[in-house]
Amino acid sequence: MERVCIYPKDVQIVTGKSERWGRDVIRKIKTKFRKEDHQLVTVEEFCLYMGLQKESVTKTLR
């Protein structure tokens, strides 16, 4: 089963940046997509925001 949500640690793995940077990215994505604090960020939203292909991100997260 393919993961739907992405977390700061996942952002760290994909980008090679710090987990703190990943938290900031998640926060910016939530702002851009007008999500509330309790809502999660999807891999698809992350890919749209970062300009990455979903296939390559999901392959990295396996």
Q: 10-residue block means of pLDDT along the chain (62 residues)?
A: 91 96 97 96 97 94 88
Q: Break the chain into its structural domains and give their ranges.
A: 8-61
- Please answer whether residues 24 and 11 qualify as being in contact, where contact means their C-beta atoms are separated by less than 8 angstroms: no
| Residue 19, C-beta contacts closer than 8 angstroms, at least 6 positions apart | 8, 9, 11, 12
Q: What is the pLDDT of residue 1?
A: 74
Q: What is the pLDDT of residue 2?
A: 81
Compute the residue count for the chain.
62
- Please answer whether residues 59 and 14 qualify as being in contact, where contact means their C-beta atoms are separated by less than 8 angstroms: no
- Please answer whether residues 41 and 29 qualify as being in contact, where contact means their C-beta atoms are separated by less than 8 angstroms: yes
Q: What is the Cα–Cα distance from 4 to 61, expressed in whole angstroms?
A: 11
